[in-house]
Structure 1
């Protein structure tokens, strides 16, 4: 396989930094991006990675200009990893601006290059919280849920150009982004409504119990994701799915959520099916023409 060119966002630490090292170790070329790159990405000096200063929350036109310049470094972009994001943050508008709109801005900027070369992979680093978000984590879960929904339509839109999409949905890993000590900090700075004192206390207990004891190993998790993107190792010969849990805790959360939904459907099926149809509805042809469930 010829070396791939990766553009990775949010490379200062955690998954992003490991993606850079793992891709380089496979013999690929990497454009590592992040805010304040001169200082926050200085640890990549001497690794062979190209460094680009990119704040994904900038206006889309500015993001496009930066990506256009980055694309000139190697003349193509084969893999985009949308990794940049905030964890728990009181500024929910900025959280969405980075985690969702920022990922869309970078994706829209990269797509013309992938369409022109008729190939590419667009990866999103989502979360198991897209399927189940505990109390006090609703906005973060909603942002990751938005990415999960985007992948469905995006996959269909770009498939004719031989471009793949995949949403990786990790569980708990020891990264600064998901540093659970920040949960305790968040509970102490959040608006202290007495009505939610129990939720704040519960989150503090969770943070204390899990901080430093997250299940996932960042290097192992990223190596698995790189296997999937490159079609190597454990992913060799397998079709890349639209979304993939990363970590046993993510598997259990997503599996449990799906089972619970199937139980709801089973219990309510006889009272739901057909009860809301228009009297003149003649069959499912219209539905089948519009709605297609993605093949995993």
Structure 2
């Protein structure tokens, strides 16, 4: 996929989402594309100042609201070439300490929300018979952690469902890809981004929870990966350029 691409990216206030948008803006500048506005829609004023358009969006909103947002985005930009479902959050809790509502909220935010956003954009994208839809997953979907049941489960749901979605939309000229980042040097593991709201704390897991928090704090800002480099590889993969030129677009990108 080449030419002037319009990206719709969710969840860009920090982390890989912010780095991805900055990588897109760099790619636009480097290739000499000239838009009145760089048409990436997200909630982040510094990125707006850098050239991105901004739209407020709650991924857990109703289908009616999301459909209206998709229509608004299409009217603003004229098209959406690349939809990036990046918004997510981590709410840590040992399995016995979380309940159905806790798990359901994680699934709604991290899996069902992105799928509903995709459903809202699909009629427009299928009508053009071209486009790319990315879902940001996590190595957490493959490697368990004591307090990550809800988060890992939500990402695992996407990992299992998206390949089937890809086969369904392929005849319409659309592509999907599960992007599964490893450990990148972002704020994702910081105390401000990981929530600890398990509703049913148990005394026997007090030490476990202390170790979970200590492990997250130790890992925060010490991850080995360069997030901007990773984001640039994602942009290159979508555009079929740079170090990831490939004849066939990958269904999964690890």
Asked whether the two chains share a fold, i.e. TM above 0.5, the reply is yes
List runs of 5+ in structure 1 lacking aligned partners: 35-40, 246-296
What CA distance in whole angstroms lies between the structure 1 residues aligned with 2:103 and 2:56? 24
Q: Could you give the per-residue CA deviations for residues 204-263 of structure 1, whole angstroms, max 9, x where no partner exists?
A: 342243122112221111111111111111111342221121xxxxxxxxxxxxxxxxxx
- Aligned partner of 1:206 in structure 2 is 215
What CA distance in whole angstroms lies between the structure 1 residues aligned with 2:56 and 2:191? 28
Moved over 6 A (4+): none
TM-score (norm 2): 0.85
**Match runs of 1:67-82 below 5 Å:** 67-82=70-85
What do you get for the CA RMSD once the two structures are aligned? 2.1
What CA distance in whole angstroms lies between the structure 2 residues aligned with 1:83 and 1:166? 12
List runs of 5+ in structure 2 lacking aligned partners: 94-101
What CA distance in whole angstroms lies between the structure 2 residues aligned with 1:152 and 1:184? 28
What CA distance in whole angstroms lies between the structure 1 residues aligned with 2:221 and 2:59? 29
What CA distance in whole angstroms lies between the structure 1 residues aligned with 2:161 and 2:231? 22
What CA distance in whole angstroms lies between the structure 1 residues aligned with 2:8 and 2:203? 45
Contact in 2 for aligned 1:20/1:30 (Cα 8 Å): no
Q: Could you give the per-residue CA deviations for residues 125-145 of structure 1, whole angstroms, max 9, x where no partner exists?
A: 100111122111011000000
What CA distance in whole angstroms lies between the structure 2 residues aligned with 1:158 and 1:45? 32
What CA distance in whole angstroms lies between the structure 1 residues aligned with 2:12 and 2:216? 25
- Which of the residues 67, 78, 98 maps onto 1:64? 67
Contact in 2 for aligned 1:11/1:32 (Cα 8 Å): no
- Aligned partner of 2:176 in structure 1 is 165
What CA distance in whole angstroms lies between the structure 2 residues aligned with 1:232 and 1:11? 24
Q: 1:10 to 1:43 in 2, by over 3 A?
A: same
Contact in 2 for aligned 1:8/1:30 (Cα 8 Å): no
Which of structures 1 and 2 has the bigger CA Rg? 1
What CA distance in whole angstroms lies between the structure 1 residues aligned with 2:9 and 2:122? 14
Contact in 1 for aligned 2:83/2:132 (Cα 8 Å): yes
Q: 1:118 to 1:184 in 2, by over 3 A?
A: closer
**Greater RCO, CA 8 A, separation 6+:** 2
| Residue 160 (structure 1) shift | 0.3
| 2:21 is the counterpart of 1:10 | no
- Aligned partner of 1:97 in structure 2 is 108
Counterpart of 1:32 in 2: which secondary structure? Answer: strand
TM-score (norm 1): 0.74
**Match runs of 1:64-213 below 5 Å:** 64-89=67-92, 91-176=102-187, 178-181=188-191, 186=196, 191-213=200-222
Q: 1:172 to 1:193 in 2, by over 3 A?
A: same
Contact in 2 for aligned 1:184/1:203 (Cα 8 Å): no
Counterpart of 2:169 in 1: which secondary structure? Answer: helix
